[in-house]
Chains A and B, each alone.
Chain A
């Protein structure tokens, strides 16, 4: 029951945020200095072209009508039509979304797999060389910018060592898994994973550094708490005390951190996808912004915000599920 009430409360908070996000993305087009249509079409446009575009964007209507039409269309899943690609924005976004999500989950996996063990070991061996290495990794990892790291990884592992492919995306992971399961061929899955490794590391390493720092601090606190002392006093093996008793409690803030990191990952995707030629939302965003394809920019902004909102909602609910204290 407690979880249900928490869920309802949290969803009720999500709705006003959605309204706000809609207003901001609507306001984006109004922010264009001067006439957005003139900005879009350039100096050589004929009056007919300008009038046609104005009608297409709905700018010939009063502001209030424009807004109600915009919200009405949004509620029907209509995000407008891309000016340069001449395709519905919704279709463009949904066709690119799986690739970006794949990359984001790859990056989260890298962050978790690297960050948590390093943080735990650093806390266990506080003040030793291992701790120092973890601290240096945490500082450098945060300072390494994603796009430079992406270039470095590409140079070392794709150009010099030629271990991994430099650009492109293999078969979508889901279909590659299906091929493995139903046709018994592992090739497509291995190919997809080999394409996924470099961009995932580029996007996930910063998160790994942050998680490492957080887990170390959190573990140091938990390892000094009474329940750990009790467990040790009862004769529980040190390995079990650390990896089972202490870690499960120290991981609580990490869950929140992963949720918060998701927004950063999407920002990182905008930079990394271009470098690795990954056909996701990030590349679509950069293209839309360079061409000043306003309906697509608005659509991408609103989808990113909804996606981050949903992930944060999910994180909050996971947190409430794993930590009963939240529900009280």
Chain B
């Protein structure tokens, strides 16, 4: 256990941060003594204290509770976006890479076109036509992020489909669907998991950005982005409100980025651990 922690510090830090985030988002309404809209007018704009851990807003509402609620929304939208975009992107990427030819050319040109737009701007344009709201937010974000999964899945499939195990599966008469789902997919999952982990951070930032502009999840739902925009009104006198929301956002993004870095390092075949080096040296010495 200690060895794993020593060898994968980024993974461990990221993992612990993500667990904290999930925990807070999951159980805040059971643990917090305050309701989301419960006001305490005598304690308006309070700074962090034992009573209000993260202080209060302009109505004396408990910021810790509201930010935890924001975490739940951000994580839900992040997970929704990553799940849909990963599913669509991976499926199209594998089909593109496995079949090649016209299918590949057409799909990859579609990917190019989607990637030509600045991601956030295209998502905003889609929100403009669909209208704001959590579901439309997930659709608009998934519509821009599927391309990343498609590219990675295609590139990985192109390498995998030439390998002997795929030829062997084809040789014993396995269908294309079987080869793709049971043979290729498990072998290309690693990089896709890394991408999905980073994708969580990106989706959370994009969601907050949209809510910040008032185009995402609508008030009174206390999203982080909306809390930041709301705190901006009181920035001169009470900067803590937007600072708390900003710190929460940073914590979440950092958590998923560190976890992504950690998983990537862990899966990196070129990574050589100290112990592996020592073992190799010992073996060589013995042979000599």
Residues of chain A having any CB pair with chain B under 8 Å: 16-17, 20-21, 23-25, 28-29, 31-33, 36, 39, 139-140, 142-145, 147-148, 151-152, 154-155, 159, 263-264, 266-267, 270-271, 274-275, 285-286, 288-290, 292, 294, 297-298, 300-301, 304-305, 308-309
Known: A139-B258, A274-B213. 13 other contacts (CB 8 A): A32-B130, A140-B250, A143-B250, A143-B254, A145-B209, A145-B250, A147-B225, A148-B250, A151-B232, A155-B235, A267-B118, A304-B117, A305-B118
B253 and A143 contacting across the interface, CB-CB below 8 Å:
yes
> For the complex, would chain A's binding face be called helix, strand, loop or mixed by DSSP majority?
helix
Given contacts A21-B113, A145-B249, A145-B253, contact A271 B125 (CB under 8 A): no
B236 at the interface (CB under 8 A from A): yes
> Which residue of chain B is the closest to A149 with respect to CB atoms?
B246
Residues of chain B within 8 A of A25, CB atoms compared: 125
Residues of chain A within 8 A of B109, CB atoms compared: 16-17, 20
A-B interface, 5 closest residue pairs, ranked by CB to CB distance from nearest: A20-B113, A267-B120, A148-B246, A143-B254, A289-B128
A270 and B120 contacting across the interface, CB-CB below 8 Å:
yes
B213 and A31 contacting across the interface, CB-CB below 8 Å:
no
> Could you write out 9 A-B pairs with CB less than 8 Å apart?
A16-B109, A17-B112, A32-B130, A33-B131, A147-B228, A267-B118, A271-B212, A289-B127, A292-B129
Q: Which of A17, A21, A24, A148 has most chain B Cβ within 10 Å?
A: A148
A154 CB to nearest chain B CB (Å): 7
B205 at the interface (CB under 8 A from A): yes
Residues of chain B within 8 A of A148, CB atoms compared: 228, 242, 245-246, 249-250
Q: Which of B110, B113, B258 has most chain A Cβ within 10 Å?
A: B113
Measured in the bound complex, the distance between the Cα atoms of B113 and A171 in whole Å is 36
A288 and B128 contacting across the interface, CB-CB below 8 Å:
yes
B239 and A20 contacting across the interface, CB-CB below 8 Å:
no
B256 CB to nearest chain A CB (Å): 9
A308 in complex: contacting residue of B118, B236, B239, CB < 8 Å? B118
B83 at the interface (CB under 8 A from A): no
Measured in the bound complex, the distance between the Cα atoms of B208 and A290 in whole Å is 16
Residues of chain B within 8 A of A155, CB atoms compared: 235, 239
A17 and B257 contacting across the interface, CB-CB below 8 Å:
no
0 or 1 for each of B249-271: is its CB under 8 Å from A? (1 = yes): 11001100110000000000000
Measured in the bound complex, the distance between the Cα atoms of B246 and A281 in whole Å is 25
B114 at the interface (CB under 8 A from A): yes
Measured in the bound complex, the distance between the Cα atoms of B95 and A114 in whole Å is 42
A271 and B117 contacting across the interface, CB-CB below 8 Å:
no
A60 CB to nearest chain B CB (Å): 19
A304 and B118 contacting across the interface, CB-CB below 8 Å:
yes
Given contacts A151-B232, A290-B214, A290-B215, contact A21 B246 (CB under 8 A): no
A271 and B213 contacting across the interface, CB-CB below 8 Å:
yes
B254 in complex: contacting residue of A17, A28, A29, A139, CB < 8 Å? A139
Residues of chain A within 8 A of B119, CB atoms compared: 263-264, 267
B124 in complex: contacting residue of A36, A274, A289, CB < 8 Å? A289
Residues of chain A within 8 A of B79, CB atoms compared: none
B124 and A21 contacting across the interface, CB-CB below 8 Å:
no
Residues of chain B within 8 A of A285, CB atoms compared: 121, 124
0 or 1 for each of B126-159: is its CB under 8 Å from A? (1 = yes): 1111110000000000000000000000000000
Given contacts A20-B110, A143-B257, A147-B209, contact A301 B250 (CB under 8 A): no
A152 and B246 contacting across the interface, CB-CB below 8 Å:
yes
B116 at the interface (CB under 8 A from A): yes
> Which residue of chain B is the closest to A160 with respect to CB atoms?
B239
B122 at the interface (CB under 8 A from A): yes
Measured in the bound complex, the distance between the Cα atoms of B254 and A286 in whole Å is 27
> Which residue of chain A is the closest to B236 with respect to CB atoms?
A159
Given contacts A28-B129, A155-B239, contact A142 B116 (CB under 8 A): no
Measured in the bound complex, the distance between the Cα atoms of B209 and A25 in whole Å is 22
Measured in the bound complex, the distance between the Cα atoms of B248 and A24 in whole Å is 35
